[in-house]
Chain A
Amino acid sequence: MLARVGDRIFWMSRLMERAENMARLLGVTSNVVLFSTRDTQEQNLLAPLTITGTTKAFFDRHDSVTLPSLIDFMGLDESNPSSISTCIRQARENAHAVRWQITSEMWETLNATWLEMREFRRDQVTGREATRFFDWVKERSHLFRGVTYGTIVRGEAFNFSRLGTFLERADDTARILDVKYHILLPRVEDVGGALDYYQWAALLRSVSSLETYRLIYRDQIYPINVAELLILERRMPRSLAAGLDEITRALSHITGQNDQPAKRLAAVLHARLVHGDIQEIFRGGLHEYLTEFLEDVHELGQRIQRAYLGAL
């Protein structure tokens, strides 16, 4: 497969996954903000900006942070390179460039998503219909992934699409889990209380894992279990471990000329997750662990790009 084509397919899938996770991130933020006090609200609204590294870009455009301005920036702002709208547009552009190398259903799904995206009105999305918008984004992403899985030939295109999806998902899940580090409880004594419990539940719900949590732990929500589920649980399809399972599997089907650095790093990250221990992670600090993981995943993405997808 041409490197250029592989690159387009990788990014097409990656950006659609990113759009979905931005919607999830905004979803959990909207929920948490509902129960924030005046002192903590602003801090909590800043959390998604902090973990996506877009705080400065946001304040270049807005004086203060409110929920509508946050949703506008992360959902609709075309000048924000990781807004939902930008991700969908670029996913569609990538698909357009390779529409002859992907199935027509994949192209039509992304094209229709982009056309529908343009129909959303700003006041709808940032107002009371925000949840409907987030649900729509998730649905379109589910649809695209399903169409891809159901129609594309099992070859390089499939593997690069999977790489894009799961590299992005591992990155995003780690960021969403890290949100809890950045959002505040009103008082120290609230730790372990009802509001804390509510925040963890909202976080689980945002990555479609509340039911899975109950199924696996059959217990009330403890932070350490939540972290274990989202980091180490290979049966949980949005966990970091499941992501690395998929990434190493896709890489094992691909051969490139200088791909050892990429494959080696993937194997190391995979092993760390498969043999990881949540107590140990907590001893070193969850936020520190996630920060290091994000750096590693970023490096893995760079190595994959260099090994297979770079220009001459």
Chain B
Amino acid sequence: MTYDEMHGPDGSVRPHYGLLARWLESMPKSAIEEKRREADLLFHRVGITFAVYGDEQGTERLIPFDAIPRIIPDSEWRLLERGLRQRVTALNRFLHDIYHAQDILHAGIVPAEHVLTHDAYQVAMVGVDVPNNVYCHIAGIDIVRDGSGEYYVLEDNLRTPSGVSYMLENRRMMMRLFPELFEQYEVKPVEHYPQLLFETLRASAPPGVREPVVVVFTPGQYNSAYFEHAFLAQQMGVELVESTDLSVHDGVVYMHTTSGRERVDVIYRRIDDPFLDPLAFRPDSVLGVAGLLAAYRLGNVTLANAIGTGVADDKSTYPYVPEMIRFYLGEEPILRNVPTWQLRKPEDQRYVLEHLPELVVKQVQGSGGYGMLIGPKASKKELDTFREQIRANPAGYIAQPTLALSTCATFVEDGIAPRHLDLRPFVLSGREVKIVPGGLTRVALKKGSLVVNSSQGGGTKDTWVVREGAAD
């Protein structure tokens, strides 16, 4: 059974969608078509595109934008917000712990060998203190709903989560296309996200720096998320730097300007750990800055996010997050985890191999919807291939029940039809935790598809957190 965001089981429209549904019915099809074309044109002109990996011509593509918003009543949002705050706080505590006293490992709650032998665990971070003890300044937490409408956390993204520019541009687009809807719905604003991000980054500067210089560090214009890097730098009014713009002298990071060297205090980096510093990590990286890790360990510069956060957002760490919340905060988790089988455990592995056609299997290290098996949709050949892969490397996989993922009305070729979606709210942690209401809603545009990733043909919707009763 699938939860329909817009309609109840009896087919009636849910109260918070009432006004939108009536408005959609009243709009002639041609008027809606015209708005869609207008949106396409505007997105192209602004250049909100993303480069697609593996596309030989390196072309830029638009992420399809769907003009029907996804609506969340604010009572539901308040619960989500509390849950997100709790979860990210616990994850930051966990990261601090594993690079310091390792209480959670000593207590046997998370297996020490799992953490300490993890690829993303950075020995270089052991004993290094970071400002506010925050490791993950920007987190994107993927949330889905099951058949009953219950919210679940599907995945934590604690490295360099992307998508927030689409959240902002989608809102701008919706306000431009359908101002009349905003007059009737009280939609909570998201436009101040860049300001909150800037404050978060400034609040994370090394101690004693009064007017911190913040930069956004991008791998360059051929990166798939370059648009977002440039967009955020522009919105915050800070420099967008590439590796050749930075250098380290005597443990201090400088950017090279037309008037000489300028000291850099906070780096919002959109480059993965292995590429950050060729002296410390991959020596073949041309995207990084030699000596950056040394400057960072000296406390002369802040990296957001910190080095070594990947150990906490890995799919094999995910099952322990509820325990982390209990351990560090002494609270019951507000947001649920999806039940997860860890294939390195023999009994889990036996169960999963027997029930493979019902389950979703994911690579522990995978992201972007690659390397994933959706049992109910897989051919016998695919099932066999995965069985072999699991037997060869059980620790490389986890399995979860196939979640139905909720659906929302979406424009398709022949009108409006329900399509599956998820939600990625962005959680900012500086001296305090801040979240703008909503996030990025990703929608699978293919009928029946459960994969919402933009690299796999997914689209996006504006996400409205609305005051209830305001627009019934």
* Residues on A facing B (Cβ under 8 Å): 1-4, 6, 96-97, 99-100, 156, 160, 254-257, 308-309, 311-312
Query: Hey, which chain A residues are within 8 Å of B221, CB to CB?
Result: 96-97
Q: Within B206-238, which residues are at the interface with A (CB < 8 Å)?
A: 221, 230-231, 233-234
* Residues A257 and B247 in contact in the complex (CB < 8 Å), given A4-B242, A97-B221, A100-B230: no
Query: Hey, which chain A residues are within 8 Å of B233, CB to CB?
Result: 100
Q: A2 and B257: CB pair below 8 A?
A: yes
Q: Within B235-276, which residues are at the interface with A (CB < 8 Å)?
A: 239-242, 244-245, 247, 255-261
Q: Mark B269-309, 1 if CB is under 8 A from A, else 0.
A: 00000000000000000000000000000000000000000
Q: B247 and A312: CB pair below 8 A?
A: yes
Query: Hey, which chain A residues are within 8 Å of B241, CB to CB?
Result: 2
Q: List 16 A-B contacts (CB under 8 A).
A: A1-B258, A2-B257, A3-B258, A4-B244, A4-B245, A97-B221, A100-B230, A100-B234, A156-B258, A254-B259, A256-B259, A257-B259, A257-B260, A257-B261, A311-B244, A312-B247
Q: A1 and B256: CB pair below 8 A?
A: no
CB distance from B257 to the nearest CB of A (A): 6
Say what secondary structure dominates the interface of chain B: mixed
- Give complex CA distance A256, B255 in Å: 14
* Residues A308 and B47 in contact in the complex (CB < 8 Å), given A2-B245, A3-B245, A96-B221: no
Q: Which 8 A-B pairs have the closest CB atoms?
A: A257-B260, A100-B230, A308-B258, A6-B258, A3-B256, A312-B247, A312-B256, A1-B258
Query: Hey, which chain B residues are within 8 Å of A309, CB to CB?
Result: 258
- Give complex CA distance A24, B67 in Å: 50
Considering only CB atoms, which chain A residue lies closest to B240 in the complex?
A100
Q: A311 and B47: CB pair below 8 A?
A: no
Considering only CB atoms, which chain A residue lies closest to B221 in the complex?
A97
- Give complex CA distance A51, B137 in Å: 58
Considering only CB atoms, which chain A residue lies closest to B230 in the complex?
A100
Q: Among B47, B230, B231, B239, point to the contact of A2 (Cβ < 8 A).
A: B239
Query: Hey, which chain A residues are within 8 Å of B259, CB to CB?
Result: 254-257, 308
Query: Hey, which chain A residues are within 8 Å of B255, CB to CB?
Result: 2
Q: B47 and A99: CB pair below 8 A?
A: yes
| 15 extra A-B contacts, CB within 8 A, seeds A3-B245, A97-B221, A257-B260 | A1-B257, A2-B241, A2-B245, A2-B256, A3-B256, A3-B257, A100-B231, A100-B234, A156-B258, A256-B258, A257-B259, A257-B261, A308-B258, A309-B258, A311-B244
Considering only CB atoms, which chain B residue lies closest to A255 in the complex?
B259
Query: Hey, which chain A residues are within 8 Å of B230, CB to CB?
Result: 99-100
Query: Hey, which chain A residues are within 8 Å of B247, CB to CB?
Result: 312
Query: Hey, which chain B residues are within 8 Å of A254, CB to CB?
Result: 258-259
Query: Hey, which chain B residues are within 8 Å of A100, CB to CB?
Result: 230-231, 233-234, 240
- Give complex CA distance A308, B245 in Å: 13
- Give complex CA distance A254, B234 in Å: 23
Considering only CB atoms, which chain A residue lies closest to B260 in the complex?
A257
Query: Hey, which chain B residues are within 8 Å of A256, CB to CB?
Result: 258-260
CB distance from B268 to the nearest CB of A (A): 15
- Give complex CA distance A308, B230 in Å: 23
Query: Hey, which chain A residues are within 8 Å of B245, CB to CB?
Result: 2-4
- Give complex CA distance A154, B239 in Å: 18
CB distance from A139 to the nearest CB of B (A): 23
CB distance from B165 to the nearest CB of A (A): 12
CB distance from A123 to the nearest CB of B (A): 28
Query: Hey, which chain B residues are within 8 Å of A255, CB to CB?
Result: 259
Query: Hey, which chain A residues are within 8 Å of B231, CB to CB?
Result: 100
Considering only CB atoms, which chain A residue lies closest to B246 in the complex?
A312
Query: Hey, which chain A residues are within 8 Å of B244, CB to CB?
Result: 4, 311-312
CB distance from A60 to the nearest CB of B (A): 30
Q: Which of B221, B234, B256, B259 has the most CB of A within 10 A?
A: B259
- Give complex CA distance A237, B407 in Å: 64
Considering only CB atoms, which chain A residue lies closest to B234 in the complex?
A100
Q: Mark B72-96, 1 if CB is under 8 A from A, else 0.
A: 0000000000000000000000000
Considering only CB atoms, which chain B residue lies closest to A307 in the complex?
B258
CB distance from B180 to the nearest CB of A (A): 28
Q: Which of B231, B233, B242, B256 has the most CB of A within 10 A?
A: B256
